[in-house]
Amino acid sequence: MEHTRRLMRAAAAFGRLAPAIGPEAFRRLLDAEPRFRHMFGGSKTKLRDDFMGALTSALIARADVGRFPTSTIRQLEDVARENRKFGVAPRDYPTLGEHLLDVFAERLPPGLDSSMRVAALRGALDEVLTLLADTAEAAERAEGPATYTGRVLEVQRRTRHIAVIRVHCPDPIPFTVGQHIPIRSPLAPGIWRDYSPALPPNPEGLLEFHIRIVDGGAESRPLVVASRPGDEWTFGTPRGRLGQVLDAYRARRYDGPPTGRHHLPEAAPRDILMVAGGTGLAPLRALIMEAADLPSPPPIHLVYGARTPGELYDLRTMVGLANNLPNLTLSTAVEKRIDEPLTNPGPFSSHPAAPMPRLGVAADVAARIHRPGELAGKTVLIAGRGEMIDVTRERLVEAGADPRFIHHDPVAKTTVAREARFPVLG
């Protein structure tokens, strides 16, 4: 019991000191291991912050419940797979762990039990780092290469800020629909950015990415403005589980008469509501295409939102899908009905059969088009920028959606920020 209390105090102290421990421990690692100095490029800060956030969550969860919850294990496994693209080897984790412990011991306020807290933290930290190293070793054996290479085939500038870029990978990347893939381009050396393919996996190795320029985007701007056919991109390990929602619909349902006295009716599958903000359309479009090939495609209602009509950059494609897929219903939402100067709708932002866009953000439109109580029976998928995901989730829960059936991937940035300070233990 005393050990548990000591570990909880040590984990809490580590969480409070993490913003100072991370930079100093990584600096010492780079000084001690010259091969690391140019390994991470412009992604060094993001890698460090992601690692420290996952580590803090894991240590506090271990102290609080005496084990690593499933969600924590998955987060750590994702971190280990993500680090492979940088060249991080399983043997590197114990080295980093020693630097983390050294800095923790130096920054911990002196007290009667300071050395005991360090000792207690060492055991939990060893467990975390062992899990990371084991996952990395297993990935090397089972998942093939850490990176893949593709070549840009076509670049379509759909709006001033959005480009659709098609890429061919001679060795197809093993990913599942809805996942996001880290991309590194020669236009932004050393910087990795996650994007979700807008096409389902296919044996031809064809990928399509919808990329928007974001404020301060060190990679998004060069990709949109300067990408050209022939550019060579490098891809890391795919991550995310959004596509698992379709697993419940993959088996053909039995529609014949009951065959036994105690036959229980099969539960009806839930309809799916998709809410896309801007280029968040990409993974949801891929899921719609994948669902179309299922034996019993689920009814899907897509709410496709943008700031103005001209930014509905893939409306033509979505109207074509809605006209040909009986299970798909399309609604559009815009925050303003008038486009800004020089941003009038292009050929892909309009269609003669397109539904009239409703005024409002996608979350509000999705709530308004459902009758009271109707959202409770829906499975909800949300894709967009972090802030949009948070707002949409909260709005739909207020409107009656069951939070157990709301899915989004990756986790919203604001949620990640909260978890870094106050880690989720469940």
Over range 173-187, report the average pLDDT.
Answer: 93
Give the angle subtended at the CA of 53 by the CAs of 105 and 15, to the nearest 5°.
40
Distance from C-alpha of 207 to C-alpha of 196, rounded to nearest angstrom: 9
pLDDT digits over 133-171, tens only? 999 899 888 877 889 999 999 999 999 899 999 999 999
pLDDT digits over 260-319, tens only? 555 555 556 799 999 999 999 999 999 999 999 999 899 999 999 999 999 999 999 999
Per-residue pLDDT at 425 = 27
Half-sphere exposure of 418 (CA within 13 A, CB side): 10
Query: Which alpha helices (DSSP H) does 155-208 contain, by range?
Result: none
Range from 43-52, 104-113, 181-190, 228-237 that averages highest in pLDDT: 228-237
Residue 277 token pair? 């903000």
State the pairing for strand pair 328-334/300-306.
parallel
Longest dimension (CA), the chain: 75
Residue 142 token pair? 């089972």
When pLDDT is cut at 50, 70 and 90, the band that residue 89 belongs to is confident
Per-residue pLDDT at 335 = 96
Over range 216-220, report the average pLDDT.
Answer: 72
Range from 6-15, 74-83, 218-227, 250-259 carrying the lowest mean pLDDT: 250-259
Distance from C-alpha of 51 to C-alpha of 323, rounded to nearest angstrom: 45
> DSSP secondary-structure letter at 187?
T
**What are the beta bridge partners of residue 166?**
154, 208
Strand ranges inside 311-373, DSSP E: 328-334, 358-359
Over range 364-368, report the average pLDDT.
Answer: 97
Distance from C-alpha of 318 to C-alpha of 334, rounded to nearest angstrom: 16
Closest of 193, 164, 200 to residue 179, by C-alpha: 200
Over range 224-241, report the average pLDDT.
Answer: 93
- Contact yes or no for 211/279 (Cβ under 8 A): yes
The model scores a pTM over 0.85: no
